[in-house]
Structure formats: C-alpha cells, structure tokens
Structure 1
Amino acid sequence: MTDSNLILRRMKVVDIPQVYALDVTSFSLPWPERSYRYEVEENEHSRPWVMEDTSATPARIVGMIVVWLILDEAHVATLAVHPDYRRRGIGQRLLANALLEAQKEGAKLSYLEVRKTNSGAQALYERFGFLVDGVRPRYYVDNGEDAILMSLRPLDPQALTALLNAGETIP
C-alpha cells in the first residue's frame, strides 16, 4: 500500500457498514449503525469523512471522523483508524482535513472529549495544539472513566494544511 492508494473523502451511505465495523473494532462504546446513517443523510451539522484504501479488494475504509459544525465551533464527535493502519499518519490527515474544511465553513475553534487513558489520541490532539480545558468525571458509561475536555483556538488554516501534508509522511 502506498499513500496514493489512500483516498480521503466524504462519508457515503454505502460506507456505513465498514464505518460501523471500524467503530466496533476501535471503541468499547461504539455508535449504533443507524447513527452513522443519520450523520450522512440527515444531520445538517455533520461533516463525516473517511479514509479509503483503494489497493484493497474491495476498497476498505481504514479511518473515519465525524465533526459537527455548530455556529463557529467544530466538535470532533468521533475519530478512529483501523488497528492495521495505525501509526501511519491517517488519524492526523483525517483530523487536519476535517478541521480545515470546517474552518473554511466558518469554524473558529474546535473542541472534543477524549478518554483519560487514551494517551495516543491525546498526543495526536496535542500535536495540533489542543489544550486541556477540564474533565468530565465518569463520562464514559462502560467503565466510569473520566473524559478530558480539550479545545483548539483558533483554527489556523496554515497550521492545519501543514499537519495535513505532514500526515502523509509520518513513519
């Protein structure tokens, strides 16, 4: 697989079974499959994206992100990369692209929640300049884990473009 085989594009209804399977593989509290259908077909605030590996037969969804654009805020609702494709810059490219596109639509800041124990995701967000704003105690219902609240202010298109392009060459 080369970078040229990875296509970043908007999520489509046909992607939902693979996106849901990726969610189940990645999280202990996956979204219901119908939630992704809602994000693609009905939620006017939703900006869902996927990374597709076109070298696989059939093509395979290897990463996804859902961002909600509400007024001038981009809320990162979910982000996942298939375990076989992690540490290749895919999460960084997905996040940079989604935030850059949201910024083009008027978003000035971004925020998210991340599990307290998810150090890998926190490191990704810190690379973007997200800062810790607080904690939501016992946020995750599966185990009562705290959520760390993080925000990025402002959304800088030059920095996001650099992160998008750098994601192509992360070892």
Structure 2
Amino acid sequence: MWTNPSPWRRFMCMSRRRSLIDQAVGNGRLTFRRMEQADLEQVIAIDQKSFTLPWPVSSFQYELAHNDTSRCWVAEVEIEGKRRIAAMAVAWLILDEVHIATIAVEPEYRRMKIGQKLLIAILKDAQASGARHAFLEVRETNLAARKMYLKLGFEEAGKRPHYYSDTQEDAILMNLDTIDAALLEWLD
C-alpha cells in the first residue's frame, strides 16, 4: 500500500476509475428499474457486502410480493452486453411520505454517483405518486451516505439512540421536507 502515491500513480488510478465510470454509466448503459424476483441473488449479495445487519432473504421476498407500500428498485449496468445489478433500494410510500428503508451500492461501483442517481429516481417516482416528504435513518458513522443525503437536500432531524442492534450505534434521522418539481429539476 502506498502512503503517498506519485502524481503519475494518482493519475492512473483516476483514469482507471473514470474508465469504469464510463463503462458503467456512459452511453446510456445505466438504467433504473423496479426490482424483480430474478434480481434477488444479486440484491442479497449487495446487501450482505454493504451492511453488518443485512436483511433476511424473506424480507426482500415479502417486500416484492406482499407489501403494497413497497417500491423496490435496482440500478442495472450493462457492460459489453452483460447486465449486472450495481445498486438496490427499498422504499415505502405511505400517504404523502416516502421512507427510504435501505439503499446500497455494489462495492466496485461506489463513488460513481450510482447510489445518488438511484435515490433521485426513487424521489421522482415517489413525487409522481403523491409523496411530498422523504425520510430515512443512517448510521451515525456512515459519513459518505450522510454527505450524499445532505447534498440532495436532506436535513438531519434527530437521532434514534442505540438503533442498530449489532453495535448499539445511533441512527441519524434525516428528512427532505418538500419533494417538488423544482427540487427534482435542480437534482437533475
């Protein structure tokens, strides 16, 4: 591991990352769509790689088949004709609110704004279905996610002490007070 990489090495790493982004996102090969049963193997793998407390398989199955308030989404990349799930999310649409229950990105696709774009797609769908507000919980130590949510207009609204049973870590409550056309246009 390099503690202070040379400018050339940094350039090459950035170029490789840009190449992966171009492959994953360029030329319209990134699509957002509703999750299907056939996606579950990849979705569960992403969930297990992303969280110390992943959802049980039965929870995803229930959300897909039985929960009328559930909106299950995937971000799918296509590279050289091969499709792969790069991110997943589950949101609950209840009256005029959308609750982001979970959102995760495959580790190799992180820091490419795929999670951010997936969240924007969810907010657009929720707004079109009548949602005016959004909220979520995020681990206090998940600074990257908190930064993304703040960038999208969410505000920190409180804490749920000892929310996560594995570490007793607090959850930060975040809300987006108004989902409207102006916000969605700004996010695009």
Same fold (TM over 0.5): yes
1:117 to 2:124 alignment: no
Residue 131 of structure 1: aligned partner? 155
- Please list, as runs of the form range in 1=range in 2, the aligned pairs for 1:44-63 lying within 5 A after superposition: 44-55=68-79, 58-63=82-87
Cα separation, 1, equivalents of 2:24 and 2:47: 24
1:146 counterpart (170, 175, 186)? 170
Does the 8 Å CA contact 2:86/2:105 hold for their aligned counterparts?
A: yes
> 1:16 and 2:57 equivalent?
no
Give runs of ≥4 in structure 1 deviating > 6 Å.
Answer: none
The 5 A counterparts of 1:73-112 are 73-112=97-136
Instruction: After TM superposition, give the deviation of residue 21 of structure 1 in Å.
Output: 0.5
Question: How far apart, CA to CA, are the structure 1 residues paired with 2:59 and 2:136?
Answer: 18
TM-score in terms of structure 1 length: 0.91
Relative to structure 1, the CA distance from residue 102 to residue 83 in structure 2 (aligned partners, 3 Å threshold; closer, same or farther) is: same
Distance (Å, rounded) in 2 between the aligned partners of 1:108 and 1:38: 26
**Larger RCO: 1 or 2 (CA < 8 Å, sep 6+):** 1
Whole-angstrom CA distance in 2 between matches of 1:106 and 1:5 = 29
Q: Bigger shift: 151-160 or 78-87?
A: 151-160
How much has 1:108 moved relative to structure 2? Answer: 0.7
Please give the alpha-carbon distance, in whole angstroms, between the structure 1 residues aligned to 2:108 and 2:64: 25
Which structure carries more helix by proportion?
2
Tell me, which stretches of 5 or more residues in structure 1 are unaligned? 166-171
Checking the alignment, whether the CA contact within 8 Å between 2:161 and 2:170 is kept in structure 1 is: yes
**Aligned partner of 1:42: which letter?**
H
Shift of 1:49: 0.7
Identity %: 48
Relative to structure 1, the CA distance from residue 111 to residue 127 in structure 2 (aligned partners, 3 Å threshold; closer, same or farther) is same
| Alignment RMSD | 1.3
Q: CA deviation at 1:56?
A: 6.2
Check the 8 A contact 1:97/1:160 in 2, yes or no: no
Q: With structure 2 as the length reference, what TM-score do the two structures score?
A: 0.83
Shift of 1:2: 4.2
